Amino acid sequence: MTDSIRLGLCCIFRDEPIKFRNTTVTYCKKLTKKERYQKLADLCRTNAVALQDAFQYCVKYGIGCFRVNSQILPVKTHVDVGYELEDLPGGEELLDLFQACGEYAREQSLRVCFHPDQFVVMNSPREEVVERSILELEYQSEVAEWIGADVVNIHGGGAYGDKTKALDSFAKNLDRLSARVRSRLTVENDDVTYTPEDLLPLCRQEGIPLVYDAHHHRCNQDDFSVEEATTAAIKTWNREPLFHLSSPIEGWEGKNPRRHHDFIDLLDFPDCWRPLEITVEVEAKAKELAVLRLQKQLKEQWYVYLLRCADDSLYTGITNDSSRRLAQHQSGKASRYTRSRLPVAMVYREPQKTKGLALQRELTIKSYSRQKKEALIKTGKLD
């Protein structure tokens, strides 16, 4: 993996003892106002501490982005039990804790973002849904301001029988958002309704960055290739682009490729993303384990190589460290075949994404005739 790509962890941990707490509206309604405010203050304090721990974990393990849970302030916008942070006992202290998280993130160059829940729909024909959506976006953008988050990402919403009209409604409702929301708001293509091609005119017209989700695009295709959608999405950003990646749990031939796998299949990572300066949020059920595995896989580089031996015969092998492997061959420790045919020279090296692909390619090259192997060598592919 190049240093220009930062991977993002989404919301929670699978194995790490870092937990965010929540509550229910039903439970809150059973409490007196004083009891409820104290309970909510305790939950917010716990979550602020957990957020600091999450940020520190990301920095320690080289994870470049953390997506914050929408319920970091539990039931914050609910019509019956909602509240302002200053209403809670120790509200100023709570604000200080969240702002300290933001200061730490800035010092460590850790990116922070939000992804409101699916009930946030800016183009709903129901006014009450739009009002609740705006309230939620304002709340999350307020917390984003405290902690230095630069993205609050939502989906395009429903089509309601007419995509063009629905997106027009989305655009009109943007005028109801504060500058704090608008400066952070992004929109993402989904796996059922809106493709990148559908959303790009809105993004260009309204100055909203497109969060390109490659998995969603593969499920809900348009006329754009992954490369074309990537290029178009990047042009909508005035800061580092943020994309999403996931893999289907049953593979692309399964019954429902929309469902996410525990981990990322490296073959699903677009080649065109590798040289880019982007953030890639890893939407995988294994959470931090999935991010760390992908991080390791992207850093590894496997090669298929050809050696020319002293007797002019050719040897085919694989390695993830060409210099070390050549030294092993020269010392007679790598292969029985080359041990009796020293010295050897590496005359061809071909990069592969994974060890598995390198092994497959090795078998293919081994099956080549001498003439075909020499033709490979003439390509000069040694870097």
pLDDT tens digits for 207-225? 999 999 999 999 999 999 9
For residues 110 and 150, is the Cβ–Cβ distance under 8 A?
no
Out of 2-6, 247-251, 352-356, least confident range: 2-6
Q: What is the pLDDT of residue 1?
A: 47
Residue 83 phi/psi, 5-degree rounding, is -160, 170
Q: Is the pTM of this model over 0.95?
A: no
pLDDT exceeds 60 at position 64: yes
3-state class percentages of the chain: helix first, strand second, coil last, to nearest 5: 45, 15, 40
List, for residues 265-284, the tens digit of each pLDDT value.
988 999 899 889 999 999 99
Can you say how many angstroms the Cα of residue 151 is from the centroid of all Cα atoms in its chain?
Answer: 13
Question: Would you identify the CATH topology of the domain 5-300?
Answer: TIM Barrel (3.20.20)
Number of helical H runs and strand E runs in the chain: 14, 11
Tell me what the mean pLDDT of segment 170-179 comes to.
98
> Which residue, among 326, 263, 328, has the nearest Cα to 292 in the 3D structure?
263
**Average model confidence (pLDDT) for the chain?**
95
Q: What is the pLDDT of residue 2?
A: 53
Tell me what the mean pLDDT of segment 339-345 comes to.
96
Q: What is the pLDDT of residue 353?
A: 79
Q: What is the pLDDT of residue 371?
A: 95
pLDDT exceeds 80 at position 254: yes
Q: What is the pLDDT of residue 266?
A: 87
For residues 130 and 175, is the Cβ–Cβ distance under 8 A?
no
Same fold, 5-300 and 302-379: no
For the chain, give the percent of residues with pLDDT over 70. Answer: 98
Q: Give the number of other CB atoms < 10 A from CB of residue 59.
A: 17
Q: What is the pLDDT of residue 300?
A: 84
List, for residues 93-130, the tens digit of each pLDDT value.
999 999 999 999 999 999 999 999 999 999 999 999 99
For residues 365 and 373, is the Cβ–Cβ distance under 8 A?
yes
Residue 188 phi/psi, 5-degree rounding, is -125, 140
Q: What is the pLDDT of residue 351?
A: 86
Q: How many residues does the chain have?
A: 383
- Name the 3-class secondary structure at 23: coil
Q: What is the pLDDT of residue 352?
A: 87
For the chain, give the percent of residues with pLDDT over 90. Answer: 91
> Which residue, among 166, 168, 140, 175, has the nearest Cα to 154 in the 3D structure?
140
For residues 111 and 150, is the Cβ–Cβ distance under 8 A?
yes
CATH class as words, domain 302-379: alpha beta
CA gap 167, 198 in Å, rounded: 9
Q: What is the pLDDT of residue 381?
A: 66
Out of 34-43, 63-72, 153-162, 295-304, least confident range: 295-304
CA gap 107, 148 in Å, rounded: 11
Beta bridge partners of 7: 280
Tell me what the mean pLDDT of segment 169-173 comes to.
98
Tell me what the mean pLDDT of segment 67-75 comes to.
97
Q: Higher-confidence residue: 195 or 302?
A: 195
Which tokens is 238 given? Answer: 């005035």
Strands (E), the chain: 5-10, 65-68, 111-114, 151-155, 185-188, 210-211, 242-245, 278-282, 302-308, 314-319, 345-352
CA gap 12, 272 in Å, rounded: 29
Tell me what the mean pLDDT of segment 32-54 comes to.
98
Domain ranges of the chain: 5-300, 302-379
Q: What is the pLDDT of residue 382?
A: 59
